Amino acid sequence: MTADQAGLDLSIAALARGSEGWAATTLAARADLLASVAASVAAEAERWVLTAAHAKGLDQASPLIGEEWLTGPYGVLTSLTALQRTLRVLDAGHSPLAGRRLGRAPGGRVTVSVLPHNAWDGLLLHGFTAQAWLRPGVTAAQARSRAGLGQHVSGRAPSEDSGPRPDRGIGLVLGAGNISSIAPLDVLYELVAHNRVSILKLNPTFDGLLPVYRAALAPLIEAGLLCIVTGGADVGDYLAHHAGIGHVHITGSAATHDAIVFAGSKTDAPRLTKPITSELGGVSPIIVLPGRWSTRDLRYQAEHVATMRLHNGGYNCIAGQVLVLSATWPQKRVFLDAVAAALASAPARPAWYPGSDERMRAARAAYPVARSIPGGRLLVPAGASREAPQTGGVDSPEAWASAVPEDMLRTEYFAPVLGVVELPGTGLAFLDAAVETVNRDFLGTLGANILGVPSTIRRLGAGFEQAVARLRYGTIAINAWTGVGFLSAAAPWGAFPGHSLSDVQSGIGVVHNALLLDDVERTVVRGPFRPFPRSVVHGEWALLPKPPWFVSARRGALTARLLTEFAARPSVRRLPGILAAAFRA
């Protein structure tokens, strides 16, 4: 046994003692502990952001720093606040869904409103909503009684059981290396949803964040509920198969998942004999409904598409990768030109994620007629594979033919590559064809986006909602980006249910989910087609200006910092500054 392995063994033994202490901790004391964590996260927020930015080669003055505020300490703070509320509601003997509106979706599904989660969300994200759809057959009464997961015993009365269920031991969390809030959020969900204490192994990309994480999450570490380690694949493999670890959770690639689970071919028996949950990304479609769009509509939604592709440099598990367009949409060419312009005008940034250059070279080799966009971006038109007609160049009808670039649909490039697929039809016929295509041909089921003029969606009526119900994705965003679902603390986040170890696709299980909902099928996010004031013209009641997560937001960094400070210490007095910064963006 090496010294490193001996140290890991000692850490696991210490976590076993911490697990026993957690099992004896009351719900109120658990909520108080999360409040302490929130205070330490707030104290480390600026160092957290600057350290993450340094890991990604971002200048401290870059407007893109706003991404690090929102997807770093802001996301963790909002989750801590929401989880605290759930624990205190359960401690009072109520369901987390008490007083929360339940609705209905096609197929008789029960829906739970998860955004806005509180009154502050309603102000700061005005116009954005999200509902968690539960699996078909789950009743409203079952939804209420089962919400709470590891912190709640179904049907308990205060005289029977006023505490959480027994502890569930020690879990290994294999942290992501692209978004700095993911690993802490996974640790929190393991602890609260499943009563598992964690040993967190950082992705080497974020090894520099080790002292920040240890300071920000110090209350968990001091209570014996968390240990954070670094190391390569050998450390992760040792921990995953350690006898003291009862569960593994990974955020990463399907290849890494399969290397842990299987000794060789996936036809062999799994090498890993303990449960594993996962969030593994995929190829996210952006379905664009044909309609009559104004010039400003086209420009704004092109910036929206550029954000879906280029946020975090394109190194997101739910980065929009393929536009799905109607081949007969009269504004198709104008829209694609606007998308190319938006990709070109987005702030430049380093290709910081390991392997990005190799993936970009592979994409250029696979699609030799793709548009090279300034800033190291690539726009791959429909029919741009080697086998597609090459006559006339990228502006010819042949190059824009409605052939499907198969590699683009089955390869998550994890780089600034945006593909295009064109399908026949208009109206509901196009939407139905798009749903069938992405369900059948696209890799993964993590997130899908739909963009369309509100009047077009209204004309589609019940057919639109039925099409959404047929989309097999864990998060579906309508006139929004699925990243909004990721950042919404109460929204369940994960792949569409039903994957197996041998065909894991985008993963198994959910995280975030601060209401601790059981039987989740998906999350559906809805946003305004245009921000205020243009939202009013489209018949939408939405007061939010251009969202601060847009790559084209001029004051996104300031707005994101103010939002993080608000999440740490909510106050009406902070609202004017946030709104002023947002409108100047």
Does CATH place domain 284-551 in 2.60.120.370? Answer: no
- Tokens linked to 296: 């400003």
Q: What is the pLDDT of residues 318-330, one digit of tens each?
A: 999 999 999 999 9
Task: Say if CB 514 and CB 82 are below 8 A apart.
Answer: yes
Rounded Cα gap, residues 89 and 9, in angstroms: 37
Quote the CATH superfamily of domain 3-96+147-279.
Aldehyde Dehydrogenase; Chain A, domain 1 (3.40.605.10)
DSSP element (H, E) containing 455: helix 454-460
Closest CA to 490 of 81, 127, 24: 81
Identity (one letter) of the amino acid at 383?
Answer: G
Closest CA to 448 of 363, 327, 332, 321: 321
- How distant is the alpha carbon of residue 251 from its chain centre? 11
- Which residues belong to CATH 3.40.605.10 in the chain? 3-96+147-279
- Tokens linked to 281: 């990304």
Phi, psi at residue 453, to the nearest 5°?
Answer: -60, 135
Phi, psi at residue 139, to the nearest 5°?
Answer: -90, 165
3-state secondary structure 305-361: HHHHHHHHHHCCCCCEEEEEEECCCCCHHHHHHHHHHHHHHCCCCCCCCCCHHHHHH
DSSP element (H, E) containing 134: strand 129-134
DSSP string, 162-231: -SPPPP--EEEEE--SS-TTHHHHHHHHHHHHH--EEEEEPPGGGGGGHHHHHHHTHHHHHTTSEEEE--
Q: What is the pLDDT of residues 419-446, one digit of tens each?
A: 999 999 999 999 999 999 999 999 999 9
Rounded Cα gap, residues 346 and 349, in angstroms: 9
Residue-wise pLDDT tens for the chain (585 aa)?
566 899 999 999 999 999 999 999 999 999 999 999 999 999 999 999 999 999 999 998 898 999 999 999 999 999 999 999 999 999 999 999 998 889 999 999 999 999 999 999 988 999 999 999 999 999 999 999 999 999 864 333 333 444 554 447 999 999 999 999 999 999 999 999 999 999 999 999 999 999 999 999 999 999 999 999 999 999 999 999 999 999 999 999 999 999 999 976 777 789 999 999 999 999 999 999 999 999 999 999 999 999 999 999 999 999 999 999 999 999 999 999 999 999 999 999 999 999 999 999 999 999 999 999 999 999 999 876 434 433 333 333 333 334 445 689 999 999 999 999 999 999 999 999 999 999 999 999 999 999 999 999 999 999 999 999 999 999 999 999 999 999 999 999 999 999 999 999 999 999 999 999 999 999 999 999 998 777 677 778 778 888 999 999 888 899 999 999 999 999 999 989 998 888 776
Provide CB contacts within 8 A for 578, sequence distance 6+: 124, 559, 562, 563, 566
Task: Say if CB 87 and CB 30 are below 8 A apart.
Answer: yes
Half-sphere exposure in the Cβ direction for 227 (13 Å, CA): 22
Residue 57 CB neighbours (<10 A): 12
Greatest CA separation found in the chain?
78
Single pTM value for the model? 0.94
DSSP string, 40-107: HHHHHHHHHHHHHHHHTT--TT-TTHHHHHIIIIIHHHHHHHHHHHHHHHHHTT--TTTT--EEEEGG
Strand order in the sheet with 284-288: 102-105, 109-115, 129-134, 520-526, 475-478, 447-451, 284-288, 320-326, 417-423, 377-380, 371-373
Question: 3-state class of 508 per DSSP?
Answer: strand
- Which residues belong to CATH 3.40.309.10 in the chain? 284-551
Task: Say if CB 491 and CB 130 are below 8 A apart.
Answer: yes
- How distant is the alpha carbon of residue 405 from its chain centre? 25
